[in-house]
Amino acid sequence: MSLQTVVYTLDPAAMDAELIRRAAAVIRAGGLVAFPTETVYGLGANALDAGAVRGIFAAKERPAHDPLIIHLADAADLPRVARDIPPLASELAARFWPGPLTLVLPRGEAIPAEVTAGGATVAVRVPAHPIARALIRAAGVPIAAPSANRFGRLSPTRAADVLADLEGRIDVVLDGGPTTVGLESTVLSLVGTPTILRPGGVSREALEAILGPVAVWERSPQALEALPESPGLLLQHYAPRAPLLLYQGAPAALRATLLAEARRYQQENVRVGLLLAAEDVPFFADEEWLIEVAGSVADLETVARQLFAALRALDAAGAGVILARDFGVAGLGLAIRDRLTRAAGGRVIEVTAPADEV
């Protein structure tokens, strides 16, 4: 597989219609186009073309049993891809689309089995990014798109991240600058009891304002065995190259443990990368760490936006191990914790404060 990957640079506020037309023609011809959404960059193909969809799996080296999200330009197109759409779906669409919410619904007949990994349900969303919507509209077909990274790696938030993983494997990259949300969409199943399958850009609290209490699917080895058809929910996923350890706990104890662990690794001549909050930085001054600050604990939108780029930066700087702090579970914290837990592949350390410190 060796293609010439073409990059079209677009200003989201003033798009060159000719470049959108060319990219849309590539989609209609069965090719692969990476494009920005508000969450992360997606790798798109015509969702109605089984061969094109197989191309996505080949380019990403993604196992065929991991289903894709279908992207629409408008909620009005939902009946093209799903059936038996409950009123609740329309209500959620009216509130959250365009935006980072993916709904899992019964699969429409036009959708090839390749998209849904043979399953009876389909995942669908209307992205909020002007380039994404212009591309889908110009193509005139729903676009199936996973995140535009090699399978198991961090999702791309910049065109350069896409090229690092997929150059020579896809036809076009639309470069619309860095994405604004920075983490993938929330995946909400509306088949049976509404359940969050993957926390993401729409918070649990925002969904609960409409739905009342919403279950969050627990990612445990047991739960994974019970759900073999959704391995996108795999534990080890969204991973930087360096092993990552996630530390959870109250701030003072968390910092003390991070500092002690960082020194211990350093003594073993392991280059330590720290993923910190802005509030942590004064405690880590004057030593030879690689530090990436994702943002303030008081501003989780910024943390979400910068998280993947920060992890990529620690990899690029040569970290031998990454020690990351947790950001809680309120609002976007839940999605941030989900991604860091997966990057940690289960290496999550609960820090308990000494009795005199609380």
For residue 295, what is the DSSP state?
E
Q: How far apart are CA 27 and CA 280, in angstroms?
A: 46
Strand 6-9 to strand 172-175: parallel, antiparallel, or no bridges (unpaired)?
A: parallel
- Say whether residue 102 binds ligand TXA (CB under 6 A): yes
Cβ atoms of residues 202 and 128 within 8 Å: no
User: Please, which residue, 146 or 249, has the CB nearer to Mg ion?
Assistant: 146
Residue whose C-beta lies closest to ligand TXA: 232
State yes or no: residue 276 binds ligand TXA (CB under 6 A).
no
- Choose the contact partner of 40 out of Mg ion, ligand TXA, none; CB within 5 to 8 A by kind: ligand TXA
Cβ proximity to ligand TXA, 100 vs 240, nearer residue: 100
Site string for ligand TXA, 104-143 (x = CB under 6 A): x-----------x--x-xxx---x----------------
- The answer to whether 185 contacts ligand TXA (rule: CB under 6 A) is yes
In the complex, least distance from residue 149 CB atom to Mg ion, rounded to whole angstroms? 6
Site string for ligand TXA, 7-46 (x = CB under 6 A): ------------------------------x-xx-x----
What DSSP string describes 5-65? Answer: -EEEE-BTTB--HHHHHHHHHHHHTT--EEEE-SSSEEEEEETT-HHHHHHHHHHHT--TT
In the complex, minimum distance from the CB of residue 146 to Mg ion, in angstroms, rounded to a whole number:
5
Give the tokens for residue 49: 């073309």
Whether 134 contacts 2, CB under 8 Å: no
* Residue 274 β-bridge partners: 291, 323
Smallest gap from residue 250 Cβ to ligand TXA (A):
31
> Of ligand TXA, Mg ion, none, which one sits near residue 198, judging by CB under 5 to 8 A according to partner kind?
ligand TXA
Round to whole Å and give the CA distance between 161 and 169: 14
Applying CB under 6 A, among 179, 230, 248, 306 the residue interacting with ligand TXA is 230
| Separate counts of helices (H) and strands (E) for the chain | 11, 16
Q: Is 339 in the site for ligand TXA (CB under 6 A)?
A: no
Q: Is 147 in the site for Mg ion (CB under 5 A)?
A: yes
- Residue 121 contacts which entry, ligand TXA, Mg ion, none (Cβ below 5-8 A, type-dependent): ligand TXA
Cα dihedral: 159, 154, 276, 255 (round 10): 180
Q: Which of 49, 66, 161, 165 binds ligand TXA (CB under 6 A)?
A: 66
For the bound state, the minimum distance from the C-beta of residue 299 to ligand TXA, rounded and expressed in Å, comes to 21
H-type helices in 169-328, by residue range?
204-211, 221-226, 251-267, 300-316
What is the Cα–Cα distance from 45 to 66, expressed in whole angstroms?
16
Q: Which is nearer to ligand TXA, 147 or 180 (CB)?
A: 147
Q: Does 101 bind ligand TXA (CB under 6 A)?
A: no
Token match 């720290």: residue?
274
The token duo for 118 is 């043979």
Residue 203's binding partner, choosing from Mg ion, ligand TXA, none, with beta-carbon cut-off 5 to 8 A by kind? Answer: none
* Ramachandran angles phi, psi of 348, nearest 5°: -110, 125
124 and 188 Cβ atoms separated by less than 8 Å:
no
Q: Return the structure tokens found at 331.
A: 């609002």
| Residue 342 parent element (H or E) | helix 333-344
- Find the binding residues for ligand TXA in span 282-321 (CB under 6 A): none
Partner that binds at residue 323, options ligand TXA, Mg ion, none, CB closer than 5 to 8 Å by kind: none
Q: CB under 5 to 8 A by kind: which of Mg ion, ligand TXA, none does 86 bind?
A: none
% helix / strand / coil in the chain, to the nearest 5?
35, 20, 40
Tell me which residues in 151-180 interact with Mg ion (CB under 5 A).
none
Between 15 and 164, name the residue whose CB sits nearer to Mg ion: 164
Applying CB under 6 A, which part among 61-69, 83-91, 165-173, 253-261 lies near ligand TXA? 61-69
Q: d(Cα 265, Cα 258) in Å, to the nearest integer?
A: 11
Name the residues that contact ligand TXA, by CB under 6 A.
Answer: 37, 39-40, 42, 66-69, 100, 102, 104, 116, 119, 121-123, 127, 145-147, 184-185, 187, 197-198, 230, 232-233
